[in-house]
Amino acid sequence: MQIREQILWGLFGFTILTSLVNIAGGFMGGDFFRGNIIGSLNFLPVLLVLLHAGWTKSYARGIAFFVLAGLTGFISEYIALKYGVFFGGEYIYNMDGSRLASVPVNVIIFWSFFIYTGYCITNSFLYWLGHKMSGRLLPLAVLMDGLIVVIIDLFIDPLQVLEGAWSWTGGSSYFNIPVGNFIGWFFVAIISTTIFRTYEYLRPRKDSLQIPAVHLIPVLGYGLLYLIMLAASLRYGMFGLSLIGSALMLPVIISNVVLFTKSPLHTLKV
């Protein structure tokens, strides 16, 4: 096992440990999102994601991805907060911490991390199936990126509203959250990945880390995020949300892991 792979899996192991402690604390009356990448910036997950991007995409491309996704998220949030459009309605942030033009800095970073996760999971499906990016696959990959990211918001948004991170002035039958919010999430994600994937397609390069299994880490991270949100929804008695989140996230996680176990890994160059 290469030293960089050991570091990534080690950081992921520590992230799992801290998250399990957080889940236990949540069931004992604490805040489920405190100390996690969802509710605050935790050093280990941040370092894990940055190293994963740098070692699988090169640092230049990894930084470019996060800047692009964060900037797209920031612009959309700024427009939404100022004019009440883009995410289906008006809302306010109740989060502590630094802000950039009324947008919490944490939120900007979350956009980068969630979009990167969706992008990586789509890539892992392609790897396990032995497909290389093509002009025909690019639109399908972008669509999948957006759907995977929206699934996160369908689960996390009701929980964060309940925790008081933000609040909506109007909503719909989906836990009093506007449907337009999820449409907005979809477009923010696909705008970011369309630009980045198009650049990658036009300027292809070999990834820096030639270890296919490392591309399973974002999938397992997606699974860890699912467990945190599932635990929170169960503790708060939001059983309907638990079912919705499970029905949407579990198929993504399970199918990806199954494809990984069945892939001829010795023929894959990541």
- The pLDDT, as a whole number, for residue 206 is 66
Interatomic CA distance for residues 3 and 9, integer angstroms: 10
Q: Which of 172, 116, 166 is nearest to 145 (CA)?
A: 116
- Both tokens of 235, joined, read 């503790």
Q: Residue 99: enclosing H or E segment and its boundaries?
A: strand 99-100
Which two tokens mark 42? 């935790």
User: For 223-267, how does the pLDDT look when each residue is reduced to its tens digit (9 = 90+)?
Assistant: 988 988 998 899 889 999 999 999 999 999 999 999 988 877 544
Can you say whether residue 133 is alpha, beta or left, with left for phi > 0 and alpha for psi between -120 and 50 degrees? beta
Which positions of the chain have pLDDT values less than 50? 34-41, 266-270
DSSP 36: S
Query: Closest Cα partner for 154 from 182, 119, 112, 186?
Result: 182
pTM: 0.86
Output the pLDDT for position 147. 97
Question: Can you give the pLDDT at residue 268?
Answer: 44
Residue among 133, 145, 126, 140 at smallest CA distance from 192: 145
Return the ∠ at Cα 71 (arms to 136 and 125), rounded to 5°.
Answer: 35
- Three-state DSSP class for residue 169: coil
C-alpha 175/C-alpha 172 separation (Å) is: 7
55 CB contacts (<8 Å, ≥6 apart)?
4, 8, 208, 209, 214
Helix axes 59-83, 179-202, angle to 10 degrees: 150
pLDDT value of position 239: 95
DSSP bridge pairs for 167: 92
Q: What is the pLDDT of residue 43?
A: 65
- Cα separations (Å) of 171 from 86, 101, 164, 165, 242? 14, 24, 15, 16, 20
